[in-house]
């Protein structure tokens, strides 16, 4: 009987010990998998997104970091409906914020705003801009018949590339564009292929060029949004910016012009000393065809910020009020100072 009693007590002790071990193990397991104690790795990314997903605190509240707060973006007081131009876009050049847009992704004809692409492709593909280029007779073929604007160079003239660039952007000379295209690529057609490749590289997905000058062609089109991408990019190039913001330029003597040629910017000529307090229009490129209307790509400084405005399609011509200039002055004046 004594042995039986001892065996019973020993069995009970073993059972109790096993039970305690099970309870302790359960408590440890629960403490590991409880959600509020589960830590998210600091550098974890959302599998469904390429952007970083920051960890969320247990109380789902985050305190703002004052050092990350941005100044509010300036606003404009003019409404798109008040513009003469049916297509327009205004962008802060520093952070590329769109402040105003009007039919910005609608297909339009760019006219001579095309020459901005011509210029940047030349600059990026010709290391020596002081290289002299001979303008052959073939450069001028068809330009007068198309009523293209000209810089004033002549067949057989030997001109530096940099002067042709000024001739393309300031007086909007078509012969300057074609001469550069021939020199860079051997033909205007092949040069246009380079223009279209550059447009694709920049993400100008609704743009196609057929020539280097902007002469009207049904398959030569873009959008003001795409043109804003182009101008934002081109202005990062010091040479382009220098030409784009020049009001005049005089070439050195050439074999056809012993006194050189002086160019004046068509935009500054049409601006005609109009100005607004706290607004400085730094540069621009005009354009016009019957199909494209009055066009303008401009750069201005308002306060301590730079802005670009692309406007296309305003009614009128070279002999009417320049509604593209009127729109630019109105828009820049409406930016909150």
| pLDDT tens sequence across 193-221 | 999 999 999 999 999 999 999 999 999 99
Out of 85, 104, 112, 228, pick the active-site residue: 112
- Give the residue extent of every domain in the chain: 80-334
The predicted structure's pLDDT at residue 52: 25
Question: Distance (Å, rounded) from C-alpha 49 to C-alpha 278?
Answer: 43
Q: By the 8 A CB rule, do 175 and 139 touch?
A: yes
The predicted structure's pLDDT at residue 272: 80
Residue 137: phi and psi, rounded to 5, are -60, -35
Out of 172, 176, 228, 265, pick the active-site residue: 172
Q: Which stretch of 1-15, 176-190, 203-217, 247-261 has the lowest confidence by average pLDDT?
A: 1-15
**CATH architecture of structural domain 80-334:** 3-Layer(aba) Sandwich (3.40)
| pLDDT tens sequence across 12-65 | 666 656 666 655 555 544 444 443 333 323 333 233 322 222 333 333 333 344
The predicted structure's pLDDT at residue 230: 98
Residue 284 clears pLDDT 70, i.e. is over it: yes
Q: Is 115 an annotated catalytic residue?
A: yes
CB neighbourhood size of 105 (10 A): 14
3-state secondary structure at position 272: coil
Q: Is 172 an annotated catalytic residue?
A: yes
Q: Is 112 an annotated catalytic residue?
A: yes
């Amino acid at each position: 009987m004594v042995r039986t009693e001892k065996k019973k007590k020993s069995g009970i002790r073993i059972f109790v010990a096993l039970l305690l071990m099970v309870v302790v193990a359960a408590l440890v397991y629960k403490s590991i998998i409880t959600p509020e104690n589960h830590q998210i790795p600091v550098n974890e990314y959302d599998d469904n997104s390429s952007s970083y997903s920051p960890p969320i605190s247990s109380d789902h509240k985050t305190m703002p970091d004052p050092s990350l707060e941005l100044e509010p973006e300036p606003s404009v007081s003019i409404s798109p409906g008040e513009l003469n131009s049916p297509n327009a876009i205004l962008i802060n050049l520093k952070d590329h914020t769109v402040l105003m847009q009007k039919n910005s992704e609608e297909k339009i004809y760019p006219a001579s705003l095309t020459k901005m692409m011509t210029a940047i492709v030349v600059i990026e593909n010709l290391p020596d801009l002081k290289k002299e280029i001979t303008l052959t007779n073939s450069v001028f073929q068809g330009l007068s018949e198309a009523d293209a604007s000209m810089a004033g160079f002549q067949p057989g003239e030997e001109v530096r590339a940099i002067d042709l660039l000024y001739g393309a952007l300031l007086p909007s000379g078509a012969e300057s564009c074609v001469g550069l295209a021939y020199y860079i690529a051997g033909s205007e057609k092949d040069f246009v292929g380079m223009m279209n490749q550059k447009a694709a590289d920049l993400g100008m997905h609704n743009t196609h060029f057929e020539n280097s000058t902007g002469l009207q062609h049904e398959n030569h089109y873009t959008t003001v949004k795409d043109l804003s991408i182009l101008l934002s990019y081109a202005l990062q190039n010091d040479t382009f910016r220098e030409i784009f913001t020049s009001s005049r330029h005089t070439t050195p003597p050439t074999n056809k012009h012993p006194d050189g040629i002086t160019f004046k910017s068509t935009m500054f000529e049409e601006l005609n000393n109009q100005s607004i307090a706290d607004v400085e229009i730094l540069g621009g490129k005009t354009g016009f065809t019957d199909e494209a209307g009055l066009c303008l790509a401009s750069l201005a400084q308002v306060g301590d910020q730079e802005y670009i405005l692309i406007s296309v399609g305003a009614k009128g011509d070279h002999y009417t009020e320049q509604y593209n200039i009127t729109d630019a002055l109105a828009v820049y004046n409406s930016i909150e100072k």
